[in-house]
């Protein structure tokens, strides 16, 4: 179903003010900037529109807009009194306390915005402290954890963009970076191709300077006094975040601190934010609810599934009837949002506030499943807007349907999307793939297309057991004191390091459920300060093998040999004390048959019994996004495959269903399947199938062996648990079922 619904559409209902989330709850006060043209600063294009500013012209920080930064950080203490406003400037003072001789606890402060800011152009003019080391001055965006779920989402730490981080001991050095916090913590790095971005010569303590940053869906641009000096392409993840202007007192940066040069201050003349038309861009944070949890998330970066990252929840049942579900039945990705309770009647609202939008026309859409009924609605509201409501229809069991609201007019720079459920127990609403897209406005001032990226290569050890820090729940353990290393390891992921001290070692376990012969490879991260006296121990069925490793001398995989392993087997590494640092990355355990199955999957397909997930060119893909009922079935020892899935993957030009016949145009001829018949027609010839074609939950099925014959492809049945399809002959593969189990 494709529902069209707008303010002028048939069936528009106006809600009472109490029926949806109101702008007053979010704290947005509309389009309030005066004299915008006089305050353009260095905005990169005339289409940018100033929508927020603080010129710090009062006598105190405006605490309706900003939170004062307090608490301890980086060895210093932050206090309210260190942050003041006077003479048209925001002042953040660095001081000290508890002086004992030349040692003191440094103090600082700063402000954090209460509003959230996303795509657009950010600009601040400032002059920073530089008389001595000890002050870390920063201009950046990042979400805050533990939000109040009214003005800030409870889960909203997504991305950190460091517009600059400048230490007072080196005021001529501008540090920029991008950090991500979804599933792990990793960075783009402060360098490009091993070099610091060229921003020219500047002393940020000697004069005022203007830093501007443009955050767009496909790039982040840094500008110093209007000159572009760095671009990060195709940033991962998106969500409006808090704005930070801070000056931390800290002795963590190994710079000389002269207490007689304190107190001092960094100050800022203004902060400004500009929006721009972004036609066709989805402005929804976490649109498919993938940010809370995934199988490969590190445990410390898994978020509560009761509150979707970037979204708000409310209602008497918000803690019991709102859940992010990790499931193969999702429409997009691996997760969905579910309203429902098996025990109680419930009322709950999950809503999203999208701030600082251009005042233009938008289209909303979402995929929903509502097979059990109940009172479920979606509303679009906002300051100055007429509220639109759409009742979510009942859907067929398991099947996703699209709901749409068009011609939504944003009036004062915001939109609030609310999914509202008031239902009885066992009535469930599933939500996925939410979209809110601008449809009118000025042409984009720059291309919004993603930059070309290297074609994803099949990992060297695709299909084997990989253990390491970057691989969640993989049997990797550390003992002693370890840290993150900037050196890249396997699959270009960051590695770990530790000093060669007694008690510092790591272990890698394949966590086997079936014993057997495995070839073991260790990925070594080489560096000149690494130890040349590392020892690797392989604990296997027949004993312990010790292997010497010089971490200065070799980069990449080191073959340790083949060993009989069982559930108690593992690999251990340590070093001779005081011989340097050690690198720790991945260990790969290769099984018989892994190379053969990797070769098949380079351009083939694997499907699993009773699963809507397939491996296509080594990537996990849905057999049918909209209908999770489409799965590989085995009935009376006959494997049945969804016909649509095969013809889509192997290049059928067209297909149609009329009455009880599915007709497919493939390779210059027609293929026809008839519901309830064991006869298929291929190029006008009737061919008997091993069993009948049937339709179940909207999915057409035929025996896999006959579908293979009809499409002139190759197939391989693996114990009636998996099926492999390819344009090339599929060899018999040792250990195929075990290997496929790992892949799925």
Averaged pLDDT, 303-326: 95
Q: What is the pLDDT of residue 28?
A: 40
pLDDT per residue as tens digits for the range 225-249:
999 999 999 999 999 999 999 999 9
What are the tens digits of pLDDT across the range 256-268? 899 999 999 999 9
Kindly tell me the sign of the dihedral angle through the C-alpha atoms of 441, 444, 448, 449.
Answer: positive
Q: Residue 78's closest CA among 112, 111, 107?
A: 107
The partner residues of 53 in beta bridges, in order of sequence, read 272
Return the pLDDT at 710: 95
DSSP letter, residue 609:
B
Outline where 270-331 has alpha helix (H). Answer: none
Lowest average pLDDT, out of 281-290, 539-548, 710-719, goes to 710-719
How far from 709 is each of 616, 660, 671, 703, CA to CA, in Å? 20, 21, 11, 10
pLDDT at 34: 60
Average pLDDT over residues 650-663: 90
- DSSP annotation string for 427-492: --EEEEEEEEEE-SSSPPSS--SPPP-PPPPPPTTTTSEEEBTTBTTSSEEEES--EEEEEE-GGG
pLDDT, mean of residues 508-535: 94
Residue 537, pLDDT > 70, answer yes
Confidence of residue 453 (pLDDT cuts 50, 70, 90): confident
Q: According to the model, what pLDDT value does residue 715 have? A: 93
User: Would you state the structure tokens that stand for residue 330, as one six-digit string?
Assistant: 């999702």
Q: Determine the Cα angle at 70 with ends 65 and 75, to 5°.
A: 145
∠ CA 169-174-178 to the nearest 5 degrees?
125
3-state SS, 377-444, equals EEEEECCCCCCEEEECCCCCCCCCEEEEEEEEECCCCEEEEEEEEEECCCCCEEEEEEEEEECCCCCC
Q: Locate tokens 């036609």: which residue?
A: 279
Predicted confidence band of residue 207 (pLDDT cuts 50, 70, 90): very high
pLDDT digits (tens, 9 = 90+) for 128-141: 999 999 999 999 99
Q: What is the pLDDT of residue 592?
A: 84
Dihedral through CA 523, CA 526, CA 530, CA 531, nearest 10?
60
> In the 8-state DSSP scheme, what is residue 38?
G
Residue 4 has pLDDT above 70, yes or no: no
Pair of tokens at residue 115: 């509003």
Dist. CA 121–CA 39, nearest whole Å: 13
- Could you count the other beta carbons within 10 Å of the beta carbon of residue 98? 9
Residue 175 has pLDDT above 80, yes or no: yes
The torsion angles phi and psi of 567, rounded to 5 degrees, stand at -65, -15
User: Rounded CA gap, 31 and 328, in Å?
Assistant: 43
pLDDT at residue 697 tops 60 = yes
- Which structure tokens are listed for 423? 């239902």
Alpha-carbon Rg for the chain in angstroms: 30
Section 426-451 average pLDDT: 95
Mean pLDDT of 360-367: 98
> What is the C-alpha separation between 168 and 258, in angstroms, rounded?
11
Residue 23 has pLDDT above 60, yes or no: no
SS3 645: helix
Confidence of residue 37 (pLDDT cuts 50, 70, 90): low
CB 277 within 8 A of CB 438: yes
| Nearest by Cα to 238 from 291, 275, 185, 186 | 291
Give the list of residues 6+ apart from residue 50 with CB closer than 8 angstroms, or none: 33, 36, 39, 40, 43, 272, 273, 274
Furthest CA-CA distance within the chain: 97
For residue 10, name the pLDDT band (cuts at 50, 70, 90).
very low
* 32 pLDDT more than 80: no
Average pLDDT, the chain: 91
Cα–Cα distances in angstroms (integers) from residue 516 to residues 193, 541, 587, in the given order = 43, 9, 17
Please give the pLDDT value at position 103.
78
Measured in residues, the chain has a length of 744
pLDDT tens for 710-720 read 999 999 999 98
Answer yes or no: is pLDDT of 545 > 70.
Answer: yes
Closest to 206 in 3D by CA, of 139, 90, 128: 128
Residue % of the chain over a pLDDT of 90: 76
Closest to 283 in 3D by CA, of 446, 447, 120, 453: 120
Please report, for residues 33, 38, 122, the alpha-carbon distance to residue 49 in angstroms, rounded to integers and kept in the order given: 10, 12, 11
How many Cβ atoms sit within 10 Å of the Cβ of residue 455?
Answer: 5
The closest alpha carbon to 131, from 244, 265, 236, belongs to: 265
Which pLDDT score is estimated for 394? 95
Mean pLDDT score, 448-459? 79
Predicted local confidence at residue 193, as pLDDT: 56
Q: What is the mean pLDDT of residues 23-42?
A: 58
Q: What is the pLDDT of residue 549?
A: 97
Give pLDDT tens digits for 576-617: 999 999 999 999 999 888 888 888 888 889 999 999 999 987
- Write the DSSP string, 185-254: -EE--S-BTTB-----S--TTTS-EEEEEEEETTEEEEEETTEEEEEEES-S----EEEEEEEEE-STT-
Please give the residue that has the higher pLDDT: either 652 or 679: 679
DSSP reduced 3-state for 53: strand
């Amino acid at each position: 179903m494709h529902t069209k619904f707008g303010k002028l559409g048939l069936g528009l209902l106006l809600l009472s003010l109490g029926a949806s989330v109101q702008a007053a709850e979010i704290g947005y006060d509309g389009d309030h900037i005066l004299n915008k043209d006089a305050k353009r600063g260095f905005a990169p294009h005339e289409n940018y529109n100033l929508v927020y500013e603080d010129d710090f012209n009062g006598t105190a920080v405006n605490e309706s807009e900003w939170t004062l930064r307090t608490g301890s950080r980086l060895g210093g203490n932050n206090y309210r009194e260190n942050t003041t406003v006077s003479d048209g400037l925001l002042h953040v003072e660095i001081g000290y306390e508890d002086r004992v001789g030349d040692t003191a606890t440094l103090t600082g402060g700063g402000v954090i915005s209460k509003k959230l800011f996303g795509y657009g152009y950010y600009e601040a003019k400032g002059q920073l402290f530089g008389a001595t080391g000890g002050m870390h001055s920063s201009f950046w965006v990042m979400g805050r954890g533990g939000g109040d779920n009214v003005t800030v989402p409870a889960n909203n730490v997504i991305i950190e963009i460091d517009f600059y981080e400048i230490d007072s001991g080196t005021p001529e050095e501008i540090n920029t970076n991008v950090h991500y916090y979804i599933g792990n913590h990793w960075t783009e790095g402060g360098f490009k191709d091993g070099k610091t971005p060229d921003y020219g010569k500047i002393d940020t303590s000697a004069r005022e300077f203007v830093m501007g940053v443009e955050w767009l869906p496909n790039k982040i641009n840094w500008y110093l006094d209007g000159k572009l000096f760095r671009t990060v392409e195709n940033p991962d993840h998106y969500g409006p975040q808090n704005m930070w202007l801070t000056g931390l007192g800290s002795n963590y940066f190994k710079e000389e601190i002269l207490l007689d040069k304190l107190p001092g201050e960094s100050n800022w003349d203004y902060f400004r934010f500009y929006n721009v038309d972004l036609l066709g861009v989805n402005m929804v944070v976490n649109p498919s609810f993938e940010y809370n949890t995934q199988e490969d998330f590190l445990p410390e970066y898994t978020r509560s599934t009761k509150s979707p990252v970037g979204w708000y929840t409310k209602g008497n049942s918000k803690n019991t009837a709102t859940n992010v579900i990790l499931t193969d039945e999702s429409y997009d990705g691996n997760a969905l949002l579910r309203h429902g309770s098996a025990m109680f009647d419930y009322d709950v609202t999950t809503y999203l506030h999208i701030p600082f939008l251009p005042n233009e026309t938008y289209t909303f859409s979402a995929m929903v499943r509502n097979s059990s009924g109940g009172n479920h609605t979606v509303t679009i509201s906002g300051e100055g807007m007429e509220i639109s409501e759409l009742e979510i229809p009942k859907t067929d069991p398991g099947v996703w349907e699209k709901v749409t609201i068009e011609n939504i007019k944003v009036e004062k720079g915001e939109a609030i999307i609310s999914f509202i459920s008031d239902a009885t127990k066992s009535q469930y609403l599933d939500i996925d793939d939410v979209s809110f897209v601008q449809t009118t406005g000025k042409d984009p001032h720059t291309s919004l297309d993603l930059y070309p990226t290297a074609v994803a290569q099949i990992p060297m050890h695709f299909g084997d057991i990989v253990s390491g820090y970057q691989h969640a729940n993989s049997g990797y353990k550390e003992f002693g004191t370890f840290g993150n290393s900037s050196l890249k390891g396997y699959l270009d992921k960051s590695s770990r390091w530790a000093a060669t001290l007694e008690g510092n070692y790591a272990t890698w376990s394949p966590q086997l459920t079936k014993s057997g012969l495995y070839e073991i490879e260790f990925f070594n991260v080489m560096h000149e300060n690494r130890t040349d006296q590392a020892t690797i121990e392989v604990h296997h069925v027949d004993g312990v093998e010790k292997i010497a490793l010089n971490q200065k001398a070799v980069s990449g995989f080191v073959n340790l040999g083949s060993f009989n392993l069982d559930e108690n087997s593992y690999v251990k590494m340590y070093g001779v004390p005081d011989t340097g640092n050690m690198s720790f990355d991945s260990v790969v355990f290769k099984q018989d048959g892994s190379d053969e199955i990797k070769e098949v999957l380079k351009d083939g397909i694997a499907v699993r019994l009773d699963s809507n997930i397939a491996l296509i060119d080594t990537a996990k893909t849905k057999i049918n996004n909209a209908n999770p009922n489409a799965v590989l079935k085995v009935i009376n020892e006959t494997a049945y495959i969804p016909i649509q899935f095969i013809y889509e993957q192997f290049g059928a030009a067209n297909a149609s269903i009329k009455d009880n016949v599915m007709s497919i145009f493939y390779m210059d001829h027609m293929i026809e399947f008839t519901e309830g018949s064991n006869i298929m027609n291929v190029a006008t010839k009737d061919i008997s199938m091993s069993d009948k074609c049937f339709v179940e939950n909207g999915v057409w099925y035929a025996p896999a062996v006959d579908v293979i014959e009809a499409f002139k492809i190759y197939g391989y049945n693996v114990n009636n648990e998996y099926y492999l399809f390819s344009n090339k002959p599929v060899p018999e593969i040792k250990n195929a079922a075990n290997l496929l189990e790992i892949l799925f």
